């Protein structure tokens, strides 16, 4: 927190856009819950509902991400005094907005809804997974570019390759996390014998969240926070490019974890599940 410039902490929050993020994002989440419920009833599984819930609960760990990736949610009024953010708790000195939970559910759980069943049934290939990566990269950029461009929050670290104040490397990491969580969640779905076993998704999400972001992104994280020598634009840019390249390698690696089609034996000898119920 000592690295944060005072002007960042005192920057006025755009309350109008805060309201957009709050009410619009929770409206989208409500639609997601309806879809997840309907799909779950049709296929007789709580997978979709729990995938969304897991993402929402994991948002309580957002302060760890904020400290690691130099993210600050604006909280100042026009006179510079704090308290402008509609929040429910503060950690590490960073005020957490109420919409972090809805944002997590939108950004990180949406792939479970549109790709989960196909992955579960073994109908996904490496090409499909990279398509998901691309979709999530665009989704992340659109969502976060609005937030950073309208002064709702900022990534104040010395990133390179920004799009309207949004570091592109963050989009790569978020898309990688979505791929990792969705594929591993579907592998758990294939292996549990009772629906209660899918509660494991709640533990899986933070594991993949920080495993992907801090594991794949460690080069960028360390380079941004060097004390000696001080980071420069060349070092940061190189680190960002390395991280983005590692994301692509990681997605390729994740593709090796895709479930096999029904009838094909998994490499670890796991039992072949029955097809999802659709009627």
For 140-186, write each residue's pLDDT tens digit. Answer: 999 999 999 999 999 999 999 999 999 999 999 999 999 999 999 99
Please report the pLDDT score of residue 1 as a whole number.
Answer: 43
What percent of the chain shows pLDDT beyond 90? 87
Please state the three-class secondary structure of 222-257 as a single string: HHHCCCCCCCCHHHHHHHHHHHHHHHHHHHHHHHCC
Determine what percent of the chain falls in helix, strand and coil, rounding each to the nearest 5: 65, 10, 30
pTM over 0.75: yes
Please report the pLDDT score of residue 271 as a whole number.
Answer: 65
Please report the pLDDT score of residue 278 as a whole number.
Answer: 46
Nearest by Cα to 184 from 166, 168, 160, 200: 200
Residue 264 phi, psi dihedral angles, 5° rounding: -95, 140
The arithmetic mean of pLDDT across residues 29-58, rounded, is 98
Q: Compute how many other C-beta atoms are within 10 angstroms of the C-beta atom of residue 36.
A: 23
Condensed to tens digits (0 to 9), the pLDDT of residues 194-248 reads 999 999 999 999 999 999 999 999 999 999 999 988 889 999 999 999 999 999 9
Mean pLDDT estimate for the chain: 94
pLDDT value at 279 more than 50: no
Please report the pLDDT score of residue 264 as a whole number.
Answer: 75
The arithmetic mean of pLDDT across residues 53-75, rounded, is 97
Please report the pLDDT score of residue 5 as a whole number.
Answer: 83
Alpha-carbon distances, residue 140 vs 78, 81, 170, 253 (angstroms): 29, 30, 9, 21
End-to-end C-alpha distance for the chain, whole angstroms: 53
Per-residue burial over 86-109, b if 16 or more Cβ lie within 10 Å, else e, is bbeeeeeebbbbbbbbbbbbbbbb
pLDDT value at 273 more than 70: no
What percent of the chain shows pLDDT beyond 70? 95
């Amino acid at each position: 927190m000592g690295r944060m410039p005072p002007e960042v902490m005192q920057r006025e929050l755009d309350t109008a856009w805060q309201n957009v993020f709050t009410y619009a994002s929770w409206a989208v989440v409500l639609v997601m819950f309806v879809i997840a419920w309907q799909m779950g009833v049709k296929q007789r599984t709580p997978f979709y509902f729990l995938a969304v819930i897991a993402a929402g609960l994991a948002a309580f760990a957002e302060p760890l991400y904020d400290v690691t990736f130099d993210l600050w949610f604006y909280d100042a009024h026009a006179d510079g005094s704090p308290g402008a953010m509609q929040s429910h708790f503060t950690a590490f000195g960073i005020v957490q907005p109420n919409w972090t939970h809805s944002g997590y559910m939108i950004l990180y759980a949406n792939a479970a809804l549109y790709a989960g069943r196909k992955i579960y049934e073994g109908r996904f290939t490496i090409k499909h997974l990279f398509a998901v990566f691309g979709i999530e990269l665009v989704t992340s950029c659109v969502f976060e570019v609005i937030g950073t461009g309208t002064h709702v929050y900022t990534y104040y670290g010395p990133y390179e390759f920004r799009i309207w104040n949004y570091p592109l490397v963050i989009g790569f990491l978020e898309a990688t996390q979505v791929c990792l969580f969705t594929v591993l969640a579907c592998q758990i779905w294939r292996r549990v014998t009772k629906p209660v076993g899918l509660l494991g998704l709640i533990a899986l999400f933070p594991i993949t969240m920080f495993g992907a972001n801090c594991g794949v992104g460690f080069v960028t994280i360390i380079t941004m926070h060097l004390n000696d020598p001080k980071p420069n634009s060349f070092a940061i840019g190189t680190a960002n490019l390395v991280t983005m390249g590692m994301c692509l390698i990681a997605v390729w690696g994740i593709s090796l974890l895709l479930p096999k089609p029904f009838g094909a034996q998994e490499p670890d000898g796991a039992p072949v599940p029955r097809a999802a119920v659709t009627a």
